[in-house]
């Protein structure tokens, strides 16, 4: 397999954009990416699109060639990947494999979602379809309810407290307030987080990610050619995808996600690094408990110690292991099909020292963890400067 580099990145702001369509968003991010990578659209050899629910959110299916043709890519292969909230992480994984395997030299990956065209109740139903429809969803479970059960079990098993969950929200809101592209640029206090409107006990509104629109893109090429296009290419050190049961009832232990552990192990092995070599990370905080569990599953802290670690400042901007310097899904926003590539763009910004107010001093090796559903899919990507 050939070493692969990211030579271009581009993304929209994340937020609620009533005047922009799913096509507008995808084109904006893709064009920014191509410009950033100094590549003409006509040179792209394959297009990989991450999109969870274009048909349900906006009524548009066959989204990949829809975007590719409007972008002027010509008659290249254009394929949509659906893996719930890990859709664009999965698209990136497959694009990386095609470039590493020598199939293509220039592959464009874009993730996009247009969620705010539907009322919140309908969005909740669409998102729930990424769970086990015949069992949990039919019984009335939504993702807030499922992650509330995960949180309660983690509290019972390890002594995690609500103020630990609140610490994740406070940290990520603080980081998001420094991110000009974030959906929610709002600093909050622990008191506000704890007093927020209850969504699914013990999760308040401040423990839940946002309903967002947005898109993000990355351009891949063999590392040996990266210097032809970019002055600051970012090396893909390792990337892996793993899967697991959709239903919580089928899992042996709902306080850990085997897909995260397996994808992390494989990505670490490919990159030749361990958790201690990761300088910073973008973790999938669809709910605050998800960030805590990801910290544990990826080996950043021992099991059961994620909550106290966040409260101690371990994952703060100036902490030993900065996590979600972008604001995470909690504050940056969570347009589900765009989230995975959005995380990769944010790693690259840090590595290029282009993160503005939220720039950290050491950003040589970064990790992105993109989760689908309640742990049924996970993609872990490790990048190096």
Could you list the active site residues? 85, 334
**Cα 259–Cα 261–Cα 265 angle in degrees, nearest 5:** 115
Asked if 186 contacts 173 with a C-beta cutoff of 8 angstroms, the reply is yes
Collapsed DSSP state (helix, strand, coil) of residue 153 = helix
**Cα 38–Cα 30–Cα 361 angle in degrees, nearest 5:** 70
**Cα 8 → chain centroid:** 18
**What does 28-82 look like in DSSP terms, one character per residue?**
HHHHHHHHHTT--GGG--EEEEE-S-HHHHHS---HHHHHHHHHT--S--EEEE-
**What does 9-33 look like in DSSP terms, one character per residue?**
EEEPPPB--TT--HHHHHHHHHHHH
d(CA 318, CA 297): 22
Q: Which two tokens stand for residue 118?
A: 């539907």
């Amino acid at each position: 397999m050939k070493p692969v580099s990211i030579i271009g990145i581009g993304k929209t702001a994340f937020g609620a954009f009533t005047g922009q369509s799913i096509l507008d968003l995808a084109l904006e991010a893709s064009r920014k990416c191509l410009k950033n990578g100094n590549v003409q659209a006509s040179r792209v050899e394959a297009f990989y699109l991450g999109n969870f629910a274009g048909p349900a959110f906006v009524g548009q299916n066959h989204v990949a060639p829809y975007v590719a043709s409007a972008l002027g890519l010509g008659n290249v292969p254009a394929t949509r990947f659906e893996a719930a909230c890990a859709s664009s992480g999965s698209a990136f994984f497959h694009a990386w494999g095609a470039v590493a395997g020598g199939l293509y030299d220039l592959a464009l990956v874009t993730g996009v979602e247009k969620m705010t065209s539907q009322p919140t109740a309908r969005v909740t139903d669409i998102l729930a379809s990424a769970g086990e429809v015949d069992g949990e969803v039919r019984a009335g479970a939504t993702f807030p309810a499922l992650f509330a059960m995960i949180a309660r079990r983690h509290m019972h098993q390890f002594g995690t407290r609500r103020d630990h969950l609140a610490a994740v929200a406070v940290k990520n809101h603080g980081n998001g307030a420094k991110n000009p592209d974030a959906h929610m640029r709002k600093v909050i206090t622990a008191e506000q987080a704890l007093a927020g409107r209850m969504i699914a006990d013990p999760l308040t509104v401040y423990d839940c990610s946002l309903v967002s629109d947005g898109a993000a893109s990355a351009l891949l090429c063999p590392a040996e050619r990266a210097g032809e296009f970019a002055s600051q290419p970012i090396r893909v050190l390792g990337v892996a995808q793993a899967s697991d049961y959709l239903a919580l009832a089928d899992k042996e232990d709902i306080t850990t996600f085997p897909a995260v552990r397996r994808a992390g192990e494989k990505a670490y092995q490919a990159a030749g690094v361990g958790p201690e070599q990761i300088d910073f990370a973008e973790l999938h905080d669809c709910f605050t408990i998800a960030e805590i569990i990801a910290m544990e599953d990826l080996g950043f802290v021992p099991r059961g110690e994620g909550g106290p670690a966040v409260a101690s400042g371990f994952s703060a901007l100036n902490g030993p292991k900065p996590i979600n310097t972008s604001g995470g899904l909690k504050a940056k926003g969570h347009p589900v099909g765009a989230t995975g590539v959005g995380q990769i763009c944010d790693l690259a910004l840090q590595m290029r020292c282009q993160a503005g107010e939220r720039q950290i001093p050491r950003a040589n090796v970064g990790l992105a963890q993109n989760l689908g559903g309640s742990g049924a899919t996970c993609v872990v990507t490790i990048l190096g400067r």
